[in-house]
A = this chain, B = another copy of it.
Amino acid sequence: MPGYVAPIRDIDFVLHDVLGPLPDDPAWPDRDFTRAVLDQAARVAQEVLAPLNAVGDRQGCRLESGTVRTPDGFRAAFDSLRADGWMSLDAPSDLGGQGLPYLLHTAVNECFVSANMAFNMYQGLTHGACSTVLAHGTAAQIQTWVPRLVSCQWTATMNLTEPQCGTDLGLVRTRAEPQADGSYRITGQKIFISAGDHDLAENIVHLVLARAPGGGEGTRGLSLFIVPKLLLNPDGTLGTRNGVTVDRIERKMGIHASATCALTYDGATGWLLGDLHKGMKAMFTMMNEARLGVALQGYAVAEAAYQAARSYARDRLQGRAATGPQNPAGPADPLIVHPDIRRSLMMQKSFVEGARALTFWVASLIDRAHHGDAGAEGLASLLTPVVKGFLTDMGFQSTVEAQQVFGGHGYIEDQGLSQYVRDARIALIYEGANGVQALDLVGRKLMADGGRHVLGLFQMVQAECQMPGDDPQMLAFTQPLATALGQLRAASDFFLRHGMTSPDAALAGSHDFLHLMGHVCLGLMWTRMARAALSGLATGRGDPDFLHAKLATGRFYMARQLPACALHLARIETGAGPVMALAAEAF
């Protein structure tokens, strides 16, 4: 089976032909530059990371004398990526980063995650932790911690979950006791800590949510603390071990090479990050970025699985086409002649390409937000639960479809498809399970800032459906998109009419609303991609085969996938009745 090949042409198309440069950013790198970066990233993904993917799954991590050992080859690969600057692409240049757009970081990250999702967990959360320290730390904290996190000389973790609580952080019990020197002593147990320990970096900087005195009950009493694995000497060099130990590595369904640790803090020394009792706010900086990263995992693994399924469908000879032999000289036709295999591949392809455009679009909104565009920030915030929930749900389905193409061989571990499915499964769960994303969307984001952002999105989609002077071929996109938009509006209206008197009426439809909105967003992306493809064909820019394939793939999505919106609306409009009819005891 041929290995993963980074889809550089498609990434390039989305970056430059669909999204285009940031309008007010003269620093946006030109096409030749981004292409050069992406070509190098592709090489790293294909030659360094992909070969370690199956190794990591088989070996997993080991806990030896209190320290986690990562699989063979991980240390060398991590050193090499760090040395070549891949871990600091979009960090500010005055802190040792390369000052490139977050969008470009996202494009590179897709290739790395497709090649090896588990490996990327070690640098992925470090990226978000950096942003958190930058946003909420003092100047001294930024100077102490950020440069070595930017470079991944040290890595970082995010400590929220405890045995008794995950989603409901108001139940956190870990305590922080203030000391005379301004530090805190942190005591408690944290579980599910990704990269909680490992042998890839000299130090690990834990960001820990804990309860300092005087903060009251619930989430309002929580503060965020910096708790390093190794304390620093006054001169900044590494000192003694802090009071944090690894209890165990969890035995998980997938991402075996990512060490998911249970950590015990026993009077560990920590320093407050951001304001006292405002820990949730600081943590959300990290979580929002992490959620977009998980959305990316959802489709990046599906991309790798799709590539494998496509190759297998072309190579495996089995049966004959119903319309007559396509490979008469061979003993049978390749699987790809069969319509049901095509259906599956088209579902995968149209999802992955649409998801890529959507993720890149949200990343570009975050770049705009960094440039002070409040509208972009609000829209990114609205879209974050949608991309996290929708792209991971659909990404998992797409990966399962890819496995199915392999028949029995897909169930055998050595083929790699099982690993893709097992790895992809976590993305629906962590950084807020998808049900929590749906709750965030319907219970909070829809009405944020008086509903301005969702109304702005509706107008944007409507404008896309009514472009003056459109090529008639665009009707295959704009008509279904307009229908889907109407369904999304009807669902919002239903929530507006019933949500005030019965919150359950909205919440019972939250999952379906998230999917409905996800489909509309992907429909919007396909409409934009179709317009870019037609424009390329009309002006002779780009490979016509590629652009025609883009149009055909988009038409599949609009014709076959977008009609799911009607189903989601129908479910939403049944309200809470069917969902809540049974008493808890009657299940």
Contact = CB atoms under 8 A, between A and B. Distances in A.
Interface of A: 161, 164-168, 170-171, 191-192, 250-254, 310, 313-314, 317-319, 322-323, 331-332, 334, 336-346, 349, 396, 400, 403-404, 407-408, 410-414, 418, 421-422, 425-426, 428-430, 433-435, 438-439, 443, 502-504, 507-508, 510-511, 545, 548-549, 552-553, 555-556, 559-560, 563-564, 566-567, 570-571, 574, 576-582, 584, 586-587
Contacts of A570: 563, 566
Nearest to A165: B318
A166 B404 CA distance: 13
A-B residue pairs, 5 tightest by C-beta: A253-B418, A322-B503, A339-B507, A552-B581, A339-B508
B559 A435 contact: no
B563 A435 contact: no
Contact of A410 (B161, B429, B560): B429
Given A408-B430, A566-B567, 8 more contacts: A164-B317, A165-B318, A171-B318, A336-B584, A339-B510, A339-B576, A343-B579, A400-B425
Given A412-B252, A511-B343, A167 B319 contact: yes
A252 B317 CA distance: 23
B322 A435 contact: no
A507 B435 contact: no
B421 A407 contact: no
Interface centre among A337, A407, A574 (most CB of B within 10 A): A407
Total copies of this chain within the assembly: 2
B435 A338 contact: yes
A412 B428 CA distance: 14
A578 B342 CA distance: 10
Contact of A555 (B332, B429, B545, B581): B581
B566 A571 contact: no
Main secondary structure on A side of the interface with B = helix
A523 to B, nearest CB: 14
B166 A407 contact: yes
Contacts of A552: 578, 581-582, 586
Contacts of A510: 339-340
Nearest to A250: B412
Contacts of A346: 578-579, 582
A23 to B, nearest CB: 33
B566 A336 contact: no
